[in-house]
Chain A
Amino acid sequence: MKGIKLKKYHAPKYDEPLIMEIGVDGRRGIMVPQVDKEIDDTVGTLEDLIPAKSQRKKAPALPEIDQYHTLMHFLRLSQMTLGMETGIDIGEGTCTMKYSPKVNEELVRSPQMAEVHPLQPEKTLQGILEIAYELRNYLKAISGMDEFCFQTGGGAHATYINACITRKYFQERGELGTRNEVITTQFTHPCNAATPSTAGFRVIILPHKNGYPDLDALKSVVSERTAAIHMTNPEDTGLYNPVVDEFTKAVHDAGGLCFYDQANANGIMSVARAREAGFDACHFNLHKTFSSPHGCEGPAAGAYGCTEALAAYLPVPVVTKLSDAYHLDFDRPKSIGKVRSFYGNLPAVLRAYAWIRSMGPKGIKTTAEISILNNQYLEHLLSQIDGISYPYAEGKPRFEQIRYSMAKLKEETGLGSHEIQNRIVDFGIQSYWLSHHPYVVPEPFTPEPCETYSKEDIEYWATAIEQACKEARETPEIIESAPHNQAIHQIKDFSQAEDADRWAITWRAYKKKTKK
C-alpha cells in the first residue's frame, strides 16, 4: 500500500524473574494496623470467625516483597506486553476488538459502582439495578427476546446456560430421555458443540455447502431426538446464512429449541433480529459488541436472552421491577439455579448501558454499517496481496469479518499463516488470530476491522500483512526467525507445552517438577 510507513518498534526486555523468585524474608509492602480493641471485643478474633477446619496450619508461601518492587515487577511485565491500545487490533477476529470510550472507565471507577458491595441490601442497590433493568430493555429491543439476564461470565458460559435451560425444559416435559441431541454447524463457534456436550447431550455437527450451513443435511438429521440447534450467524467466514429461518423452522417442526450465538453481532445490530429469524434464545457478548473492553480473557459478560416460554428457567437472580422499585428475584422455582457468584459482572453491564445510551438507536445501526464497510475495505486491500484468498461463495458479500487463507503463499514459499503471525507483532500489532480448530480453511487468518478503526488504521494493518507476505518471498529468513522486535521470541520446543512433566501452572507444581 502506497504511502503507509510501518512503525519502527521494539519491545523493552527485562530478564525478569517470576515474582515467587524475588523478595526477602520478612519484607512487607504494608504493615497492617492492629484491630481496635473495641472492634475485637464486638466481632471476635479472626480465629473465632473462621471455622477451625478452614484455618491454615501454615502461612501461605507468598513472596515477601515491598510495594515499590512489586510495582516495578508488574510494570516491567506490562511493558514487555503489547496491548490493544498500543497498536491496531484488527487481527483478533470474532473478538470485536473495538475501541472502548474511556469515559465509561470513569463511570465504573466512580464510588457508586466501585464501592458497591455484593451483600448490600437490595433497596440500596436501586441505581445499578435500574441500569441492569434498562439494559435488559435495550437488548430486548435489539434482539426481540422477552427476557434477559446478565449472570454469565462470557459467551461460552451463556451458551452453556442455554444447554442447561434446554435440559431443564425437556426434563420438565418428560422428553429428556429421547431428546438427547444438540445440532450445530461446522463454522459455528466451537463452544456451541462443547457446552451441550458438557451438559450431557450428544452433538451433531452439520457440514457446509460452499461456505453456508447445509440445510439438507439438517433436514436429514432432525428427529424426535433433537433437543436444540446452536448456531452462529454470520459465521466467522463473514457469510450470513440467508435461510436461517428455514433452519429454525426445521428444528421447531421436530420439536427442538433454537439458540443463536450472537458473538458475531457487530454487523447485524439493528439490521436483523434473533426473534424474526425464529430463535427461542440468544446471547450477546457485552465485552465485544457493546464495548466493554476485553482481552486477556476478561473481564467479560454474556447477556443471555430468551422468549417468554423459557424465561422461567433463567438462572437467578433476575432483575425485575415492581411498583417503581427494582428487585433481585430469587423466587423462581423452575430456574436452573445459580451459575455465578452474586449478580454477574456489573461493571461490564454499566459500560454496555453507557455505550448504548451514548450511541442511540441510529448510532447502533451506524456501528453495524461501518463495521461491514470497514471489512469490505480491508477485503479490497488484502485481495490485492499475492498469496491471499478467501474461499466459498464467490461474489457473495461478507459481513463484519472474513476467514482468509494463505494456502497459496504457503504453497509457493513454504511459509504460511503461523509464520506470518510471528512476524506481525514486529510491527507493533498485538494480535493476529488464525481460526478455531479444526482448520477447515487451510492456513487461515481472521481479521475483524471494527467500526472504530479509521481508514488509515485499516491501511496500516493491510500494509503489515503485505510487507510480511513480501518478506516471505524475498527474504524468508526474516519470517522464519520472527519475531525480532519482541521481548519474547519463538518458542523453540513447542512439545514442552504438551508434556505434563515439563509444564507447570502453579509455583508449587514448578518446584515439584524441577525438583527445586
Chain B
Amino acid sequence: MKKKIGLIVNPVAGMGGRVGLKGSDGKKIHKMALALGAVPVSPKRTCEALNVLSGIQTKIELFTYPAEMGQDEAVLCGLSPNVIGSIQKGKTTPGDTIKAARDLEKTGVDLLVFTGGDGTARNIYDAVSDRLTVIGIPGGVKIHSGVYAANPVKAARLIIDFVTSPSKIALQTAEVMDIDEEMVRQDKVSAKLYGYMKIPYERGLNQSSKAGSNPKDEMFQDEIALDVIHNMDPKVIYLVSAGTTTKAIMDKLKLEGTLLGIDAVKNKQLISADLNESAILQLLAREPETPFNIITTVIGRQGYIFGRGNQQISPAVIRRVGKENVIVIATINKILSLNQEPFLVDTGDPELDKELEGYIRVTTGFGKQHIYNVSS
C-alpha cells in the first residue's frame, strides 16, 4: 500500500535571514523583508528535498496545499500531488499552516513533511500536537527545533526510509522550540520550549551478532529514570526540569508531572507542579534546611542544559541549590546529536555561566555516566 505523505511549505520562511532580520514572523517584518529585497528560501529548500524523492514516486501518495504552500514545489519537481484546501495566493499566514496541518491530518497522512523555521514548527505543533509523525525541512531563519533534519537531503533520506524500509526507522521525540523574535531583534535571546513532536530517525539496525541493534531511545530514557529514582534521597527536594527524558522519571514514579514545566518531588511524591521562577524561590525560602537537587536534560542538537526551555531555573535558583547538586541526564543519542559540540549554559548571568563550565557527569543509563564538557 502506498504511504500517504503530507507536505506543507511555509513560503515566507527564511526570508528575514539574509537581510539580517533574525526571523520572518509577523506581517510587518515580512513586508520589511520584501522591501529589503529578500527572496523566498523555503521553496528552493523544499525542492532540494523533493528532487531526491522522485525515485519513490510510485510508492507514495502526496497530499499538499495549493500554490506556493506545496503544490508549486511538488509540480516543479515532477511530482503529482493531491491538492486540498484553499489559500489566498501571495498572502499566506500562520493560520494557513495551521489549517493545512489539520486538513492533512484528516486525510490520514502517515508522515507530515513541512518546510520552514521555528515559527512553522510551532504552528504545526499547535495544529496537530504530537499526534502525527513529522519531519521538518529546514527553510527558516531560526532553527532551534529538533524536529528539523540537518539539511533538505537528509530530510528526504528519512522520508525514503520511512516509505521503503520502515523497519530501519524508529520514532523519537524532538523539541519544538521558538525564540521571541522581537527579543532577538533587540539582541536578547529568549527561547522557549513549546512541546515535542514525533520524528523518524534511522536506528542503525544490524544483523551482526558481534554488536546487534541499537536500543531505542525510550529504552535509554527508561534506564536513566530508574537510575535517578534508585539514587533518590528521601530528604532531598528534586526540581525536575522540562523535557521527555526528565518526564520519564515522573512517569516511572507515576506522578502527574509536566512535560514543559518544572516540578518539585520529595520522597517520590509530587509536592508541586509547573513552578515558575518565583514559585521555586518561594519553595527554596520555605525550606531553608532542606537540600535541593536540580534534574535537567539537554536540548537535542542545541546542547543547552540551562537557559533554553527551562528559564524558570534562574541564576538565583541555581546558586541557591548549588552547582554540585545539579543532576544532568541525557540519552546517548541526544549527546551524539551534538557532534562533539559542548553542552551550553545561558542562564542570563555570565558569571554563573562561567562557573558552570568544565567537565560534568551526565547520567546516560542505569549506573552509567558519561563525562561531557560544558561551555557558555
In the bound complex, what is the Cα–Cα distance between A217 and B340 (angstroms)? 14
- Residues B369 and A220 in contact, CB atoms below 8 Å apart: no
CB neighbors of A among B316-340 (8 A):
332-333, 336
CB neighbors of A among B133-168 (8 A):
153-154, 157, 160, 167-168
Of the candidates A205, A421, A436, A492, the one whose C-beta lies within 8 Å of that of B369 is A205
A208: min CB distance to chain B, Å: 9
Residue of A nearest to B167 (CB): A494
- Residues A435 and B371 in contact, CB atoms below 8 Å apart: no
Residues of A within 8 A of B204 (CB): 418, 434, 437, 439
- Residues A440 and B336 in contact, CB atoms below 8 Å apart: yes
- Residues B359 and A433 in contact, CB atoms below 8 Å apart: no
Interface range on chain B (Cβ under 8 Å from partner): 20 to 34
Residue of A nearest to B231 (CB): A202
The answer, yes or no, to whether A465 is at the interface (CB within 8 Å) is no
Residues of A within 8 A of B214 (CB): 437-439
Residue of B nearest to A414 (CB): B157
- Residues A204 and B211 in contact, CB atoms below 8 Å apart: no
Residue of A nearest to B214 (CB): A437
- Residues B167 and A493 in contact, CB atoms below 8 Å apart: yes
- Residues B370 and A205 in contact, CB atoms below 8 Å apart: yes
Identify whether the interface residues of B are mostly helix, strand, loop, or mixed.
mixed
With A203-B369, A207-B372: A436-B211 Cβ-Cβ less than 8 Å: yes
- Residues A201 and B206 in contact, CB atoms below 8 Å apart: no
The answer, yes or no, to whether B213 is at the interface (CB within 8 Å) is yes
In the bound complex, what is the Cα–Cα distance between A433 and B361 (angstroms)? 31
Residue of B nearest to A94 (CB): B210
The answer, yes or no, to whether A36 is at the interface (CB within 8 Å) is no
Of the candidates A201, A216, A433, the one whose C-beta lies within 8 Å of that of B210 is A433
- Residues A202 and B358 in contact, CB atoms below 8 Å apart: no
Residues of B within 8 A of A433 (CB): 208, 210-211
- Residues A414 and B160 in contact, CB atoms below 8 Å apart: yes
- Residues B370 and A201 in contact, CB atoms below 8 Å apart: no
- Residues A438 and B336 in contact, CB atoms below 8 Å apart: yes
CB neighbors of A among B203-219 (8 A):
204-211, 213-214
Residues of A within 8 A of B370 (CB): 186, 204-205, 207
A184: min CB distance to chain B, Å: 10
- Residues B160 and A220 in contact, CB atoms below 8 Å apart: no
A410: min CB distance to chain B, Å: 8
Residue of B nearest to A440 (CB): B336
The answer, yes or no, to whether B373 is at the interface (CB within 8 Å) is yes
Of the candidates A203, A221, A421, A431, the one whose C-beta lies within 8 Å of that of B367 is A203
Residues of A within 8 A of B154 (CB): 411
Contact with B along A57-93 (1 / 0, CB 8 A): 0000000000000000000000000000000000010
A82: min CB distance to chain B, Å: 13
With A414-B157, A494-B168: A434-B369 Cβ-Cβ less than 8 Å: no
CB neighbors of A among B337-376 (8 A):
358-359, 361, 364, 366-373
The answer, yes or no, to whether A495 is at the interface (CB within 8 Å) is yes
A505: min CB distance to chain B, Å: 13
Residues of B within 8 A of A440 (CB): 336
Residue of B nearest to A206 (CB): B371
Of the candidates B205, B210, B361, B373, the one whose C-beta lies within 8 Å of that of A221 is B361
- Residues A92 and B210 in contact, CB atoms below 8 Å apart: yes
Residue of B nearest to A493 (CB): B167
Residues of A within 8 A of B336 (CB): 438-440
Pick the most buried of A95, A202, A431: most chain B CB atoms within 10 A of its CB: A202
- Residues B371 and A217 in contact, CB atoms below 8 Å apart: yes
- Residues B368 and A202 in contact, CB atoms below 8 Å apart: yes
In the bound complex, what is the Cα–Cα distance between A438 and B371 (angstroms)? 15
B73: min CB distance to chain A, Å: 20
In the bound complex, what is the Cα–Cα distance between A207 and B157 (angstroms)? 29
Contact with B along A481-513 (1 / 0, CB 8 A): 000000000011111011000000000000000
With A207-B371, A217-B371: A434-B359 Cβ-Cβ less than 8 Å: no
- Residues A492 and B167 in contact, CB atoms below 8 Å apart: yes
- Residues B368 and A205 in contact, CB atoms below 8 Å apart: yes
- Residues A207 and B211 in contact, CB atoms below 8 Å apart: no
Residues of A within 8 A of B213 (CB): 494, 497-498
Of the candidates A95, A186, A418, the one whose C-beta lies within 8 Å of that of B205 is A418
CB neighbors of B among A412-460 (8 A):
414, 418, 421, 431, 433-440
In the bound complex, what is the Cα–Cα distance between A207 and B332 (angstroms)? 12
In the bound complex, what is the Cα–Cα distance between A435 and B359 (angstroms)? 26
Contact with A along B42-60 (1 / 0, CB 8 A): 0000000000100000000
CB neighbors of A among B199-245 (8 A):
204-211, 213-214
Residue of A nearest to B227 (CB): A202
- Residues A434 and B206 in contact, CB atoms below 8 Å apart: yes
In the bound complex, what is the Cα–Cα distance between A377 and B54 (angstroms)? 40
Interface residues of A (CB under 8 A from B): 92, 95, 186, 190, 193, 197, 201-207, 214, 216-217, 220-221, 297, 410-411, 414, 418, 421, 431, 433-440, 491-495, 497-498
24 contacts between A and B (CB under 8 A): A95-B210, A186-B370, A197-B366, A201-B367, A202-B367, A203-B367, A203-B368, A204-B361, A205-B364, A205-B368, A205-B370, A206-B371, A216-B359, A217-B359, A217-B371, A217-B373, A411-B153, A418-B168, A431-B208, A434-B206, A436-B211, A438-B214, A438-B333, A491-B207
**Known pairs A216-B359, A433-B210 / 10 extra A-B pairs, C-beta < 8 Å:** A186-B370, A201-B367, A202-B368, A204-B361, A214-B371, A297-B209, A411-B153, A418-B168, A418-B205, A439-B336
